[in-house]
Amino acid sequence: MGDHDAIIIGTGQSGPSLARRLVAAGQKVAVIERKFFGGTCVNTGCTPTKTLVASAYAAYLARRAGDYGVTIGGPVGVDMKAVKARKNAVAGASSCTPRRPTPSCNVRRTFTQRCQSSFRR
């Protein structure tokens, strides 16, 4: 990887923003991520859980539609395969790719399936 001024281990809450600040200050930064870019919250914690809760809430409201004067032409069902696919799409959008790719950020997969980023000014 060469010489770096800073090495950031993990891309959770503060990793990417710290890397951007250090690069803006003229430092050469390496970011090492063990599994998924974005950390636990984006990939397996908060974000995926919130998508499941949102689907459950939509089903709850649909089932109570009559309370709001809304008529639905049949029973409300939940397609768990579609719910899971939506969760995976939302969480997967951040897996091993920066949310806002910039020319200064090069993310690549290595043969070990680990995600590494090098931030250069």
Distance CA 41, CA 36 (A): 10
Instruction: Supply the mean pLDDT for the chain.
Output: 77
Contact 120, 24 (CB under 8 A): no
Please answer whether residues 90 and 41 qualify as being in contact, where contact means their C-beta atoms are separated by less than 8 angstroms. no
Residue 51 identity (one-letter amino acid): T
pLDDT recorded at residue 58:
95
Write out pLDDT tens, residues 17-28. 898 899 999 999
Please tell me the distance from the alpha carbon of residue 34 to that of residue 18, in angstroms, as a whole number: 17
Tell me the mean pLDDT in the region 56-73: 94
Domain boundaries, the chain: 1-38+96-121, 47-93
Give SS3 for 62: helix
The mean pLDDT of 82-111, rounded to a whole number, is 60
Backbone angles phi, psi at 92, to 5 degrees: -70, -20
As a whole-number percent, the residues of the chain with pLDDT over 90 amount to 37
Give the model's pLDDT for residue 93: 67
CA distance 105 to 86: 27
pLDDT for res 72: 92
Q: Quick one: pLDDT band at residue 94, thresholds 50, 70, 90?
A: low
Determine the Cα–Cα distance for residues 73 and 70; give it in Å rounded to an integer. 10
